[in-house]
Amino acid sequence: MQNTKFSLKPSLSEFLSNYRLYGFKNRTAMIQTALLRFKKELELENLRQSADSYSEIYNKDSELIDLTESAIEDIEDLAAFEERADEPLISYEQIIKRLNKDGRI
C-alpha cells in the first residue's frame, strides 16, 4: 500500500478523528471508503452523461430509431420461432387439408 500525505481543513480533520463513531477501525479505512464511494459516484455521473448524450443522438436520428424498432420486431419473431421449434413439422399437403377443413380456402 502506498502512503500519501495531504492537508485537511480543521473541520475535516476533526470529522476524520471521529472515525470510530462511524464504525471504522482507523482513519485510513475511513478515507479509503470515502474515496472509493466518491470514485463510484464520479464514474456513475460520467455514465449518466454518456447515456444522456447517446439518448439525445438516438432521438434525433429517425433511421436509427427505425433500425432499432425493426431489430426488436426481429427479436420477437425469433423468440416466437424458438418457442415453436419443438413442434412437429407439417407438410404442405397437411396444411392445405387443414385450411380446407377450416373453410379458409
Question: With a cut of 50, which residues of the chain have pLDDT below it?
Answer: none
pTM, rounded to two decimals: 0.55
- Give one DSSP letter per residue of 6-70, joined into a string: ----HHHHHHHHTGGGGT-SSHHHHHHHHHHHHHHHHHHHHHHHHHHHHHHHHHH-HHHHHHHHH
pLDDT at res. 85: 87
